[in-house]
């Protein structure tokens, strides 16, 4: 049976895409033998930086010959990306078999798409002694991943405003988001990444004050700095490390790497300095300030650099613009976004851009129409496709092109490429 047929069927098991509750997945996991209780986990919660932090952890652990399983969402190009076992994406055939088995055990009970995918991950992961890197979606407190009883550590990446449409009208605040993401963290170790400002950090600290975990906080228990000679210097309570820059673009990515380093150094995993030094130069990153260096999309833009980035909220726009501001060139943005995002606030962070082109996001019914998006920005142009948007740009030498606004758009770009 084709994988897509199975996925389509699973999407119909519950009338809502999201229904915030843990009852359904707890019931299904009980039928599955509670596999989530057998896992060694590092939980990753937050708004931005989760993917990069996970990939940095993965690279360091792989260098130390420690296999990992990874559960993340959403996927960029194909759903298999969400299911990584023994450091390899699951095959179509194995994923189909897994989902059919879990569906049969569920026996037609109502359950959301994300919940049954999460249960399937837990069910498959029980066969391995690997470390599981579990990315929490949405707000964590009622997220399907939040049924683990214990873990090695919880990582809190940068928290910002996002997914506000799932909050009550009078609770669309950063305080509410911090509460939802951090109030049910487990009692183990909590590693807090760099936050946008002290107000958010203070909210996090207040929220976890009764949690007896050891707290490892950026700029308090660990930090990282760039050296003008091309090195970075990491320091924590264990000591300092002089490191080559990771193979990621942007200062914010280096800060995500620091969070990963702080995590592995806090755990008894026999991670040596050489594993960190080598690992951070081998990080795999998709759709996070990713330069497209070859392929069909690159062929349309042979003489200029072209990047794709999946940022889609104000905090993502802020750190992305900070990187763009370090470049002495014209920047052309091609923008596509989902309907439920704050489009104007997102673009307000971008300064000194040479042009803005809006497009539809192919195959996404919940995306804002490119023409409607254009009408929000007086100087924007609308183009009917990604290819046309690139072809119509008036590019000069050294200009760069950035395609951004949605992970779904990033996936379409990479598939087209």
DSSP secondary structure letters along 50-97: HHHHHHHHHHHHHHTT--EEEE-SS-SS-GGGGEEETTEEPPHHHHHH
Q: Are residues 254 and 391 in the same domain?
A: no
285 is a domain residue? no
Q: Are residues 239 and 295 in the same domain?
A: no
Low-confidence stretches of the chain (pLDDT < 50) are none
Question: What is the domain range of residue 406?
Answer: 290-416
pLDDT tens-digit series, residues 101-129: 999 999 999 999 999 999 999 999 977 78
Q: Are residues 96 and 240 in the same domain?
A: yes
Half-sphere exposure of 350 (CA within 13 A, CB side): 25
**Cβ-proximal residues to 172 (8 Å cutoff; 6+ apart), any chain:** 161, 164
258 is a domain residue? yes
The CATH number covering residue 367 comes to: 3.90.190.20
CA–CA gap between residue 273 and residue 410 (Å, rounded): 34
Copy the structure tokens of residue 206.
């207040």
**Cβ-proximal residues to 373 (8 Å cutoff; 6+ apart), any chain:** 335, 336, 337, 343, 358, 380, 382
Q: Are residues 186 and 49 in the same domain?
A: yes
Copy the structure tokens of residue 44.
């990753």
Q: Are residues 387 and 364 in the same domain?
A: yes
pLDDT (0 to 100) of residue 337: 97
386 is a domain residue? yes
Q: What single string gives the DSSP state of each residue in 119-149?
A: HHHHHHHTT--SEEEEEPPTTSTT-TTTT-S
pLDDT (0 to 100) of residue 166: 63
Among 245, 279, 313, where does a domain finish? 279
Q: What is the residue whose two structure tokens read 């300064």?
A: 351
Count of structural domains within the chain? 2
Among 227, 259, 279, where does a domain finish? 279
pLDDT (0 to 100) of residue 209: 96
284 is a domain residue? no
pLDDT (0 to 100) of residue 96: 97
Q: Are residues 80 and 49 in the same domain?
A: yes
116 is a domain residue? yes
Is there a contact between 285 and 55 (Cβ–Cβ < 8 Å)? yes
CA–CA gap between residue 143 and residue 181 (Å, rounded): 9
160 is a domain residue? yes
The CATH number covering residue 219 comes to: 3.40.1190.10
Q: Are residues 161 and 83 in the same domain?
A: yes
Q: Are residues 183 and 317 in the same domain?
A: no
| Peptide linkage before 183 cis (omega within 30 of 0) | no
pLDDT (0 to 100) of residue 165: 66
Specify the pairing of strand 240-244 against strand 290-291. Answer: unpaired
pLDDT tens-digit series, residues 270-309: 999 999 999 999 999 999 999 999 999 999 999 999 999 9
**Cα-only R_g, the chain:** 21
Q: Are residues 220 and 308 in the same domain?
A: no
Q: Are residues 231 and 321 in the same domain?
A: no
Among 227, 247, 279, where does a domain finish? 279
Q: Are residues 259 and 320 in the same domain?
A: no
184 is a domain residue? yes
pLDDT (0 to 100) of residue 17: 78
pLDDT (0 to 100) of residue 18: 77
Q: Are residues 347 and 391 in the same domain?
A: yes
């Amino acid at each position: 049976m084709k994988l897509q047929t199975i996925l389509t069927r699973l999407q119909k098991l519950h009338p809502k895409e999201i229904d915030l509750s843990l009852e359904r997945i707890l019931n299904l996991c009980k039928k599955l033998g509670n596999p989530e209780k057998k896992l060694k986990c590092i939980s990753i919660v937050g708004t931005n930086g989760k993917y990069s932090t996970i990939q940095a952890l993965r690279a360091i652990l792989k260098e130390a010959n420690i296999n990992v399983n990874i559960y993340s969402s959403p996927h960029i190009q194909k759903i298999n990306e969400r299911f990584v076992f023994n450091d390899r994406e699951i095959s179509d055939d194995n994923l189909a078999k897994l989902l059919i088995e879990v569906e049969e055990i569920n026996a037609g009970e109502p359950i959301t798409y994300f919940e049954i995918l999460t249960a399937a991950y837990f069910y498959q992961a029980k066969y391995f002694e690997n470390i599981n890197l579990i990315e929490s979606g949405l707000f964590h407190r009622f997220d399907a991943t939040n049924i683990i009883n214990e873990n090695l550590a919880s990582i809190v990446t940068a928290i910002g405003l996002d997914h506000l449409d799932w909050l009550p009208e009078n609770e669309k605040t950063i305080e509410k988001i911090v509460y939802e993401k951090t109030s049910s963290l487990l009692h183990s170790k909590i590693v807090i990444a760099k936050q946008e400002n002290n107000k958010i950090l203070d909210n996090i600290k207040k929220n976890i004050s009764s949690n007896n975990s050891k707290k490892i906080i950026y700029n308090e228990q660990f930090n990282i700095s760039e050296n003008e000679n091309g090195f970075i210097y990491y320091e924590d309570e264990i000591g300092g490390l002089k490191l080559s820059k990771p193979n990621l673009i942007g200062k914010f990515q280096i800060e995500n790497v620091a969070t990963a380093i702080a995590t592995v150094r806090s755990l008894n995993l026999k991670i040596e300095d050489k594993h960190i030094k080598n690992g951070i130069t081998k990080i795999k990153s998709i759709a996070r300030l990713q330069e497209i260096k070859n392929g069909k999309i690159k062929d349309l833009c042979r003489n200029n650099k072209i990047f794709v980035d999946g940022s889609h909220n104000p905090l993502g726009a802020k750190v992305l613009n900070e990187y763009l501001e370090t470049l002495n060139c014209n920047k052309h943005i091609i923008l596509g976004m989902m309907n439920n995002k704050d489009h104007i606030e997102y673009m307000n962070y971008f300064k000194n851009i040479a042009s803005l082109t809006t497009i539809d996001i192919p195959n996404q019914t919940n995306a804002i129409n490119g023409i409607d998006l254009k009408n929000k920005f007086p100087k924007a142009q609308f183009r009917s496709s990604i290819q046309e948007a690139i072809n119509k740009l008036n590019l000069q030498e050294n200009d760069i092109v950035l395609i951004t606004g949605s992970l779904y758009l990033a996936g379409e770009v990479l598939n087209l490429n």
